[in-house]
């Protein structure tokens, strides 16, 4: 398998490190994964790879069969993704923004070209959730989905409840590599909206028009709101929720006060959780680290693994 990696930020660097650290194990499990070329606007001092600052060198390289796209934003990522899929290369992406907006077109393009579009890393960082919904729970009619889907916001809310200021907690989350390049996507609930929209697509096969999603972030919450909730045994969590009544899909994001006896109450720090209710399985909950380089990189590599196995 010959891959090209575009985007060498927190997740991209972790992908290269883990592929290198686990080379022997990966070789034994799935065979050789050769990183043919890596790309970013600047090389960030990464050595030992063929580096380019021009992504076209990767997407037009006939040796590369799978492109790993780990850049933020949609404009360039959309161009890259279309060309990659149309030229019959597989695409692995962590870009929830891209898929929440252009998913319908890109999923169809992958199908038409008989290549894989894998996106486990785009929801819930290191938590396996895309694969299990697609492959294990697919027979269910889902009633609803809700989740804590942004590690940065959950980290900030947890730290604020412990007494830290909003700005210090956000700075911490940025230093730990949890936040988006533009953290307003995190705190204003937009990142959560991208992820819950993708989950809705997994459950019911359709994406909501993004402008129709009702979105409120944690930036409207004050320290007093959090203290009052605490005194009542409640905890604010930024939740993404999706419901389908058989006719209409409703998707919304808002900070909501969660009771002590709910599972989501105990999901703290960078941890995320996704709850789904299916007619056969009842309630299923996925829990784990929702952001950060290494956790998210394992999801990217699991997608490479699936492509290699033909899944």
From 5, 15, 145, 179, residue interacting with ligand HSE (rule: CB under 6 A): 179
Does position 40 bind ligand HSE by CB under 6 A?
Answer: no
Which residue lies nearer to ligand HSE by CB, 26 or 207? 207
Instruction: Supply the minimum distance, in Å, between the C-beta of residue 113 and ligand HSE.
Output: 27
Distance CA 66, CA 20 (A): 17
Neighbours of 309 (CB within 10 A): 10
Which residue lies nearer to ligand HSE by CB, 147 or 290? 290
Does position 191 bind ligand HSE by CB under 6 A?
Answer: yes
Which residue lies nearer to ligand HSE by CB, 271 or 305? 271
Which residue lies nearer to ligand HSE by CB, 181 or 309? 181
Distance CA 257, CA 236 (A): 4
Instruction: Supply the minimum distance, in Å, between the C-beta of residue 78 and ligand HSE.
Output: 18
Handedness of CA 127, 92, 105, 311 (dihedral sign): negative
Instruction: Supply the minimum distance, in Å, between the C-beta of residue 260 and ligand HSE.
Output: 24
Adjacency order of strands within the sheet including 282-289: 214-215, 249-259, 234-244, 142-148, 271-278, 282-289
Footprint on residues 105-164 left by ligand HSE (CB under 6 A): 125, 150-152
Does position 297 bind ligand HSE by CB under 6 A?
Answer: no
Q: Which tokens is 221 given?
A: 């919450």
Which residue lies nearer to ligand HSE by CB, 10 or 81? 10
308 is catalytic: no
Distance CA 248, CA 251 (A): 10
Instruction: Supply the minimum distance, in Å, between the C-beta of residue 73 and ligand HSE.
Output: 13
Instruction: Supply the minimum distance, in Å, between the C-beta of residue 291 and ligand HSE.
Output: 4
Q: Which of 195, 208, 237, 308 is catalytic?
A: 195
Does position 180 bind ligand HSE by CB under 6 A?
Answer: yes
Does position 177 bind ligand HSE by CB under 6 A?
Answer: no
From 291, 299, 300, 304, residue interacting with ligand HSE (rule: CB under 6 A): 291
Question: At 68, phi and psi to the nearest 5?
Answer: -105, 110
Which residue lies nearer to ligand HSE by CB, 65 or 186? 186
> Per CB under 6 A, which region of 64-72, 128-136, 172-180, 247-255 contacts ligand HSE?
172-180
> Which positions are catalytic?
195
Residues in touch with ligand HSE (CB under 6 A): 125, 150-152, 178-180, 186, 191, 290-291
């Amino acid at each position: 398998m010959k891959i090209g990696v575009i985007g060498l930020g927190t997740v991209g660097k972790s992908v290269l490190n883990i592929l290198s650290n686990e080379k022997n194990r990966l070789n034994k499990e799935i065979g050789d994964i050769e990183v043919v070329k890596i790309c970013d606007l600047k090389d960030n001092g990464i050595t030992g790879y063929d580096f380019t600052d021009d992504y076209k060198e990767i997407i037009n390289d006939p040796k590369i069969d799978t492109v790993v796209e780990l850049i933020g934003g949609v404009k360039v990522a959309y161009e890259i993704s279309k060309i990659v899929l149309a030229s019959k290369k597989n695409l692995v992406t962590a870009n929830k923004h891209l898929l929440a907006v252009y998913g319908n077109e890109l999923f169809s393009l992958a199908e038409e070209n008989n290549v894989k579009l894998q996106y486990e890393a785009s929801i819930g960082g290191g938590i396996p959730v895309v694969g299990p919904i697609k492959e294990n729970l697919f027979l269910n009619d889902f009633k609803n989905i809700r989740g804590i889907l942004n590690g940065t916001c959950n980290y900030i809310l947890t730290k604020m409840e412990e007494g830290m200021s909003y700005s210090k907690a956000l700075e911490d989350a940025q230093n730990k590599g949890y936040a988006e390049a533009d953290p307003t996507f995190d705190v204003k609930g937009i990142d959560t909206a991208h992820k819950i929209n993708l989950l809705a697509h997994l459950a019911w096969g359709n994406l909501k028009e993004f402008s129709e999603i009702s979105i409120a972030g944690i930036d409207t919450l004050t320290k007093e709101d959090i203290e009052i909730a605490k005194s009542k045994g409640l905890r604010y969590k930024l939740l993404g929720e999706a419901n389908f009544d058989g006719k209409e899909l409703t998707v919304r994001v808002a900070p909501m006060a969660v009771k002590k006896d709910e599972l989501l109450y105990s999901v703290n720090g960078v941890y995320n959780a996704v709850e789904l209710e299916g007619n056969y399985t009842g309630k299923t909950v996925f829990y784990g680290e929702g952001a950060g380089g290494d956790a998210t990189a394992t999801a990217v590599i699991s997608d490479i693994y699936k492509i290699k196995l033909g899944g």
